[in-house]
């Protein structure tokens, strides 16, 4: 058995690495979602209108908007309200508005879209649609990069799924082929054990345990590696700047538990695969 220690270690490191890769992308993804929620919360489209709309026209416009896409809410803003808002935003500088009156501001509608990935990534289309409505002068929406952010998150989700698949494949494949190697080396012994009446359980037990142990050790060290990587990134990139916007958090422990559990499950299953052909009598 001793000569196979190197192989066992390699297998464990492979498990570690795949867990690290997967959980790294997953960590970024969960944080992006978190940031997405924040941005989505502030996100709105502002449609500037030609003129004031009566209640009937307001209803018509609402229908037109919602017929294109369901939204969270629609708020009609009069120039006076817009003026008050502007004043609030300016804070101590509000005296620049002193000589002005509200009438220079147009009537507008604020549209708050649903905060999901699909609506975020398709916000441009929505804005184009609104632009072409008869009453519209102009459409403004918060940050142009919201859309790109949406796409990026989507891409990331894809990467997470792919690396998840890789995690499953590598752990199962590596564990089962490593154990198969050690089983080949022990083939003669297994044969003798069978002649002595060793049950499937007797032969399977240690192999399953080995797969299980590889899974536990590999996944735990993968998660620990992620944690240290996370700490390192946090200490190097936090401070003033863009990173402050994204307050990154580590994976919540139930996710870690699930990752650990699944890796152990796949490793154990892999070890079961390796032994099947050795159980024939």
Partner 1 sequence: MQENTMEKPTFTFQPTPEDISTQTGAVMVELVKVTKIYPPDVVALRNVSFTARRGEIIFLTGASGAGKSTLLKLLCRQERPTKGLIEINGTDINKLKSAATQRLRQNIGVAYQDFRLLPRQSVYQNIAMAMEVQFKSVKEIRQRVTELLDKLSLIEKRNKPAGKLSRGEQQRVVIARAVANAPPLLLADEPTGNLDSNTTLLVMGLFHELNESGSAIIIATHDKSIYEGSNHRQFELHQGEITQIT
Binding site for partner 1 (CB under 8 A): 188-189, 191-200, 202, 279, 281
CB of 277 to partner 1, least distance (A): 13
CB of 200 to partner 1, least distance (A): 7
Q: Which helix (H) or strand (E) holds 76?
A: strand 71-77
Q: CA torsion sign, 64 to 68 to 73 to 74? A: negative
Beta strands at 71-77 and 136-141: parallel, antiparallel or unpaired: unpaired
The Cα–Cα gap between 154 and 119 comes to 12
CB of 280 to partner 1, least distance (A): 8
Q: Which helix (H) or strand (E) holds 112?
A: strand 108-113
200 vs 244, beta carbon nearer partner 1 = 200
Q: Which helix (H) or strand (E) holds 253?
A: helix 253-275
CB of 154 to partner 1, least distance (A): 51
The Cα–Cα gap between 239 and 234 comes to 9
Contacts of 261 (CB under 8 A, 6+ apart): none
CB of 209 to partner 1, least distance (A): 15
17 vs 198, beta carbon nearer partner 1 = 198
CB of 193 to partner 1, least distance (A): 6
Q: What are phi and psi of 33, to 5 degrees?
A: -60, -40
Task: Give the DSSP letter of residue 50.
Answer: S
Contacts of 214 (CB under 8 A, 6+ apart): 8, 11, 12, 15, 175, 178, 267, 271
Counted residue by residue, the chain has a size of: 281
CB of 3 to partner 1, least distance (A): 12
96 vs 192, beta carbon nearer partner 1 = 192
4 vs 136, beta carbon nearer partner 1 = 4
* Long-range residue pairs from 230-239, CB within 8 A, at least 24 positions apart, any chain: 230/27
165 vs 202, beta carbon nearer partner 1 = 202
64 vs 194, beta carbon nearer partner 1 = 194
200 vs 249, beta carbon nearer partner 1 = 200
């Amino acid at each position: 058995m001793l000569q196979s220690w190197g192989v066992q270690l390699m297998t464990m490191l492979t498990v570690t690495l795949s867990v690290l890769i997967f959980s790294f992308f997953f960590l970024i993804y969960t944080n992006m979602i978190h940031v997405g929620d924040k941005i989505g919360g502030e996100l709105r489209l502002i449609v500037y209108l030609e003129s004031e709309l009566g209640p009937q026209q307001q209803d018509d416009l609402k229908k037109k908007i919602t017929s294109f896409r369901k939204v969270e809410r629609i708020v009609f803003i009069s120039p006076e309200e817009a003026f008050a808002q502007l004043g609030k935003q300016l804070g101590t500088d509000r005296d620049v508005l002193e000589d002005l009156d509200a009438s220079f501001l147009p009537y507008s509608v604020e549209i708050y879209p649903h905060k999901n990935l699909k609506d975020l990534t398709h916000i441009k289309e929505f804005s184009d649609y609104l632009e072409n409505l008869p009453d519209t002068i102009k459409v403004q929406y918060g940050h142009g990069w919201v859309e790109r952010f949406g796409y990026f998150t989507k891409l990331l989700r894809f990467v997470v799924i792919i690396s998840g698949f890789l995690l499953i494949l590598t752990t199962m494949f590596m564990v089962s082929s490593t154990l198969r190697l050690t089983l080949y080396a022990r083939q003669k012994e297994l044969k003798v054990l069978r002649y002595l009446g060793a049950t499937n359980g007797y032969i399977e037990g240690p192999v399953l345990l080995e797969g299980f142990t590889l899974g536990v050790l590999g996944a735990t060290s993968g998660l620990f590696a992620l944690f240290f990587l996370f700490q390192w990134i946090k200490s190097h990139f936090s401070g003033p700047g863009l990173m402050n916007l994204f307050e990154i958090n580590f994976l919540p422990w139930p996710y870690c538990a699930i990752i650990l559990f699944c890796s152990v499950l796949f490793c154990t299953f892999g070890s079961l695969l390796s032994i099947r052909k050795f159980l024939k009598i």
